Chain A
Amino acid sequence: MSYPPNLKYTKDHEWIQMDDAQSLIGITQYAQEALGDVVFVDLPEVGSTFKSGGVFGTVESVKTVSDLFSPIDLEVTEVNAELKDHPEWVNEDPYGKAWMIKVKPLSSGTDLMSAAEYEKLIASESH
């Protein structure tokens, strides 16, 4: 199962596990495969706020650097500090150990995609 149905997805290949109190955000299976071996993840400070679509960090692989985009308006409540020493988790376990930030949602995210919609998007993107 590459795209868990309990998550919502963005066009920029982030996932979010929506919860009113605290949501989790990371990047998708498709994103980690496209990036290749991830070597560094740069995450924001706790307490910073981002608008939907704002750049909250960057992920660096051996061949490229990519921005990380906020799926919703949010305030960062926790960052996964372990990714600093274990960037390979992004490749190994993108929906689990490699969650990137925990956030307080400041908008609803009604425009986000379901797993089925996201799978359709990447199917058309890879052609």
Chain B
Amino acid sequence: MNLRSREPLIFKRSVEGKIGMDLPQLDVPPAEDTRPLHLKRKDFGVLPSCSEPEIIRHFTRLSLWNYGMDQGMYPLGSCTMKHNPRLNEVTSALPGFSESHPMASDEHLQGNLELIFTLQEWLKEVTGLHAVTLQPSAGAAGELTGVLLIRAYHLAHGHHKKFILVPDSAHGTNPATAAMAGYDVIDVASGPDGCVSFEDITDSVTGKVKRGFNSVIQEHGADIAGLMITNPNTLGIFESRIGDICSEIHRVGGLVYMDGANMNALVGVARPGDFGIDVMHMNLHKTMSTPHGGGGPGAGPVACVAALEPFLPRPVVVRDTQKIGEGEVPEHRYRWDWNRPQSIGKVHTFFGNYGMLVRALTYCMSHGSDGLREATLRAIVNANYVRSQLVGVYHLPVTSPTMHEVVFNDAIQAKNGVHTLDIAKRLIDYGFHPPTVYFPMVVSGALMIEPTETESKEELDAFIHAMKSIAQEASESPDLVHQAPVTAPLRRLDETTAARKPVLRWLPNSVT
């Protein structure tokens, strides 16, 4: 077996006594171990013993199995896998940012605080909202922060409300967030256009009725704390009645949370604050080009209206402006303000994932407001180009206008026994990362494609060609598609066993 395709676990490379690090002899008396007994680890487990080159080769080989943005198109719908500009890496590595200490005094952190303040100003402009916190470290953390703001607001006004409405096309994190914040979730049906339905929807086959927006508002009215909505929604469709939805929620005393996961379809074109949103998060690792997952931690800033500002996580950066004299440039001083008695408290240690904030501001400032708008428009054009080339080859279950992503399904290929999972696996053989599959759940067998503005027409054409070839294979030689992937280091993985009997930790007596 080729070394490059069968890398054993690092534990299997281990040989007792090998060491990758040369520690000096202890030349002082050993310190007394004063750790309280109950804090000491009883089972220390096993650490592998390898040399430095062995460790480097192990992880380098594993990294060659990986697939990332730097290798090719990564059309993972809803995730917005866009290029991470290298300029972001230059600025975030500047020693003034990378080596400053979060516990240094405000006086020594003026530049760092100014960066936080400035990024907040950008995000306020982009969202059309009044105030921003940069603390939350991911989209879901932002959601929870936002809904806790809604809760704190209602409680401060003496309102004990029970429900959060969530459209059935929402990200799974939305109902989870509402439940975490102590609310009961009410599902709202979407209509055949993929948007929130005002009327109840009756399934033509089963006769089952799903509640629409109007009847939920009528029944629960003043008990509704708010609505969580993703716009554009998970079908990549702009909720065309978002203004009506917000004013109805406001009429019954609720607040509207927007999941800003798809904000990259709006930046520079439409502002949530202008269409009635009260609070929202943005994913800097989507919209603002900071790395995803293994490439770096996330960041999920939250923006809100003035009425929610007193509840924001503390501390908050404030700017004091000193007038020096007539005609002179005013001098700004930045400081942390802890005096926020109504704050929901901290949601992250220190000040959020700071390195991501540097990257996001770099992205904003290097693009400028016109560049941010241009990126949005190109993302929408790219998704529509993919749609126009693949519609008919793959079934398009909802035909409303596409924003930044397009959702097909496997209805045409399923006639030959080829399903979404097979199509996704076959794309690996063509050198592409598969799109998001089986989500959103309102579409059976969904294939959710988000090309982002990153891709050129040439890259898009290569992807479209691969998708068309797979469709042809599905009708002519379905077995070929069933066997995919055939060129990857590992073939089709047993996802069922992995989910039913997950092995999360290697132990000395493990089989593999």
Contact = CB atoms under 8 A, between A and B. Distances in A.
Interface of A: 11-12, 37, 39-40, 62-65, 87-88, 121, 124-125
B499 interface: yes
B415 interface: no
B441 A62 contact: no
A64 B438 contact: yes
Contact of A121 (B206, B437, B495): B206
Given A37-B496, A39-B500, A40-B499, A63 B207 contact: no
A40 B496 CA distance: 10
Contacts, number: 32
Contacts of B206: 11-12, 121, 125
B499 A39 contact: yes
Contacts of A62: 495-496, 499
A63 B496 contact: no
A11 B207 contact: yes
B26 interface: no
Q: Is the interface of A mostly helix, strand, loop or mixed?
A: loop
Given A63-B438, A64-B441, A11 B500 contact: no
Contacts of A88: 500
Contacts of B505: none
A66 B130 CA distance: 39
B398 interface: no
B242 interface: no
A39 B496 contact: yes
A39 B495 CA distance: 10
Contacts of B208: 11-12
Interface string B485-508: 000000000011001100000000
**Which of the listed residues A11, A63, A64 has the most CB atoms from chain B within 10 Å of its own CB?**
A63
Assign chain B's interface to a size class.
10 to 19
In this complex, which of A40, A62, A124 has the most chain B Cβ atoms within 10 angstroms of its Cβ?
A62
**Top 9 A-B residue pairs of the complex, sorted by shortest distance between their CB atoms:** A39-B499, A11-B206, A37-B496, A63-B438, A11-B208, A62-B495, A125-B205, A39-B500, A124-B205
B411 interface: no
A87 B501 CA distance: 10
A37 B499 CA distance: 10
Contacts of A87: 500
Contacts of A11: 203, 206-208
6 contacts: A11-B207, A37-B500, A39-B496, A63-B421, A65-B172, A88-B500
B215 to A, nearest CB: 14
A3 to B, nearest CB: 16
A88 B172 CA distance: 24
Contacts of B172: 65
Contacts of A125: 205-206
A60 to B, nearest CB: 8
Nearest to B437: A63
Given A11-B206, A37-B496, A64-B438, 10 more contacts: A11-B207, A12-B206, A62-B495, A63-B421, A64-B441, A87-B500, A88-B500, A121-B206, A124-B205, A125-B205
A12 B421 CA distance: 24
Nearest to A87: B500
Most chain B beta carbons < 10 A, residue from A39, A88, A121: A39
Contacts of A121: 205-206
A12 B207 CA distance: 11
Contacts of B420: 63
A39 B208 CA distance: 27
A64 B499 CA distance: 12
B503 to A, nearest CB: 14
